[in-house]
Amino acid sequence: GSRYDKDGNLSNWWTESDGKQFAERTKVLEEYFNHIEVAPGVMANGAFTLGENIADNGGLQVSYNAFKKTVQGKNNIAVDGVPADQRFFIAYAHVWANNIREQEILRRTAEDPHSLGRWRVNGTLPHVDAFVQAFGIQEGDAMYLPQAERASIW
């Protein structure tokens, strides 16, 4: 991160401009999550979960790029009619699938800096161009987010 240099020493190596640009880019993600209603009348806290949301966004991008270097990823090989690109994102969604009670939703929202599993999927994927392309997401679809509103951090 910005607080540690290439050797792992505590050192703020970013320029002032780097910090400002990063803050601008991450603000998009923070605001997006601030508008998610996790339970009736209860909104997510985009500032509280921002660090983990950035990690989910960046980790998903890096893992997808690595996947695209595999034979299946390069050729988008379909299995049972489902192209590899779609299977990649479906697998990501399965990782976070859960069924929790409203009381636990409220507790996690107040105490856990990670977004709820549902929003680690539905809040992250609309910002990923490859996901949008893989599923042909377009205006009017539930997970559509205009290009100008997608968080592009890295």
Give the tens place of pLDDT for each residue, 46-95: 999 999 999 999 999 999 999 999 999 999 999 999 999 999 999 999 99
pLDDT digits (tens, 9 = 90+) for 89-137: 999 999 999 999 999 999 999 999 999 999 999 999 999 999 999 999 9
pLDDT at 19 over 80: yes
pLDDT for res 18 = 93
Distance CA 88, CA 119 (A): 17
At residue 2, the pLDDT reads 83
CATH label, 16-149, candidates 3.40.390.10, 2.40.50.140, 3.30.70.20, 3.40.50.720: 3.40.390.10
Look at residue 31 and tell me whether its pLDDT is greater than 80.
yes
Kindly indicate the confidence band of residue 3, based on its pLDDT and cuts at 50, 70 and 90: confident
- CA torsion angle for 34, 52, 23, 13 (degrees, to 10)? 170
Q: How far is CA 81 from the centre of its chain?
A: 26
Beta bridge partners of 39: 42
Give mean pLDDT, residues 15-39. Answer: 96
Helix (H) or strand (E) holding 102: helix 102-111
What's the pTM? 0.91
